[in-house]
Amino acid sequence: MNSIEPSQLKLTKLVNSRKSSLEILNLGASIFSFKIRDHQDKFREVVAGPGRPEDYLSSSYYDENKCFGATIGRFAGRIANGKFKLGDEEFELYSKDGVHLHGGKAGFQYKVWEIAEITDGPNPSVSLTYESPDLEEGYPGRLNVTAKYTLTENDEIKVSYSATTTRTTIVNITNHTYWNLNGGGSVSDHFLQVNAPKILDLDDNKLPTGDLIKLKKHPKDFRESKLMGNRQLDDVFVTNLSEDEVMARLFSPLTGIKMSISSNQPVLVVYSPEKLPQDWPYLTELDEKFPAVALEAQNYPDAPNFRNFPSSELKPGETYKNEIIFGFSVR
């Protein structure tokens, strides 16, 4: 991280006809900021993240590994013991306390991505690319990745991830933006609804056991909209919906801002930490407790080590795709 200079950091700002604005940082191909009008026609910053691009270069940002707004890869989530097999060949990855997390010691969130294309006018977009060398962080194959962000005229953020490989590998990419639809404070007053009948059973290291838990009469059943409250969440909701179906909805009564998320991925990780690091000023003034929530559409964690989970393998000649839509409206 120390080899990256502040001068290498670049923000791309996309603005639609409603004057909503989306800023993308090339470090980690990250959602840096999103401002949208609330029910009083006041613009609110709904991204919870460090206030300045240079904060992303601090040693504490690297140590905390909170992945603010970032593109996560090569494999989002956890892999047990930092090991997986492809055929008869075993690959070893960086692990800490028996867990490989979010792509390794220096995953995609810490890489400077190249800005490949910017389009103006209606539905403005920016595309960023990164080439991950063969065996980077232990993963086989040279992986060419593209992250495209589009801000539609209907206040949707369309995130499109694609990747190709020179050698059979595993891929699971997602976006890790923290949201606070109040524009500050806490998300304890937000209402959350998740269209999932089951969650993954996780052990003490947040690794899947392979079992699924039915959510009927379970305290984490969010199939009906429920107040988040002072509830710490770090759960894998199994949705298995079609691409145009809504995985989850988030609503702030304070601002009237509603957010939905849909994707072609089979699970949604809902991560609402009790606290976030206090090592830098944020874009807005956040409460110390329960300041934000991340909604991460992706494949099952530790998928390479479970035959009953959807495959995360990518072969030469194939194209990996994760399409995510964050939709915003006001009531």
**Is residue 194 included in any domain, yes or no?**
no
| Closest to 9 in 3D by CA, of 103, 115, 82, 107 | 115
132 secondary structure, DSSP code: E
Q: Contact 184/158 with Cβ under 8 angstroms? A: no
Q: Could you give the CA distance from residue 331 to residue 282 in angstroms, rounded to a whole number?
A: 27
Whether 2 has a pLDDT exceeding 70, the answer reads: no
Predicted confidence (pLDDT) per residue in 268-278, tens digit? 999 999 999 99
Predicted confidence (pLDDT) per residue in 7-62, tens digit? 999 999 999 999 999 999 999 999 999 999 999 999 999 999 999 999 999 999 99
| pLDDT of res. 242 | 79
* Average pLDDT, integer, range 63-89: 95
Q: Tell me the two tokens of residue 153.
A: 């005229």
| pLDDT of res. 82 | 93
Whether 221 has a pLDDT exceeding 80, the answer reads: yes
Q: Contact 200/212 with Cβ under 8 angstroms? A: yes
| Per-chain mean pLDDT for the chain | 96
**Is residue 193 included in any domain, yes or no?**
no
- Name, in order, each residue with C-beta under 8 angstroms of 204's C-beta and a sequence gap of 6 or more: none
Residue 60 parent element (H or E) = helix 59-64
Domain that holds residue 177: 6-184+269-286+296-330
**Is residue 75 included in any domain, yes or no?**
yes
Q: Could you give the CA distance from residue 211 to residue 234 in angstroms, rounded to a whole number?
A: 16
Q: Could you give the CA distance from residue 43 to residue 19 in angstroms, rounded to a whole number?
A: 9
pLDDT band at 243 (very low <50, low <70, confident <90, very high): confident
Model-wide pTM > 0.85: yes
Whether 70 has a pLDDT exceeding 70, the answer reads: yes
| pLDDT of res. 311 | 97
Q: Could you give the CA distance from residue 187 to residue 227 in angstroms, rounded to a whole number?
A: 9
E-assigned strand segments in 252-300: 257-263, 267-272, 293-298
Predicted confidence (pLDDT) per residue in 115-163, tens digit? 999 999 899 999 999 999 999 999 999 999 999 999 999 999 999 999 9
* Average pLDDT, integer, range 201-228: 95
Q: Contact 47/40 with Cβ under 8 angstroms? A: no
- Name, in order, each residue with C-beta under 8 angstroms of 206's C-beta and a sequence gap of 6 or more: 78, 99, 234, 301
**Is residue 27 included in any domain, yes or no?**
yes
Dihedral (CA of 160, 166, 172, 176) sign: negative
* Average pLDDT, integer, range 284-302: 97
The residue assigned the tokens 């240079």 is 54
* Average pLDDT, integer, range 198-221: 95
Q: Tell me the two tokens of residue 255.
A: 């601002």
**Is residue 57 included in any domain, yes or no?**
yes
pLDDT band at 240 (very low <50, low <70, confident <90, very high): confident
Q: Contact 190/178 with Cβ under 8 angstroms? A: no
What are phi and psi for residue 6, nearest 5 degrees? -55, -30
Q: Could you give the CA distance from residue 4 to residue 111 in angstroms, rounded to a whole number?
A: 9
- What's the number of domains the chain is made of? 1
Dihedral (CA of 251, 188, 19, 128) sign: negative
Share of the chain above pLDDT 70, in %: 99
- Name, in order, each residue with C-beta under 8 angstroms of 289's C-beta and a sequence gap of 6 or more: 186, 188, 230, 274, 275
CATH code, domain with 90? 2.70.98.10
**Is residue 91 included in any domain, yes or no?**
yes
* Average pLDDT, integer, range 306-316: 97
| pLDDT of res. 239 | 94
**Is residue 113 included in any domain, yes or no?**
yes
**Is residue 219 included in any domain, yes or no?**
no
Q: Could you give the CA distance from residue 122 to residue 156 in angstroms, rounded to a whole number?
A: 12
Whether 77 has a pLDDT exceeding 80, the answer reads: yes
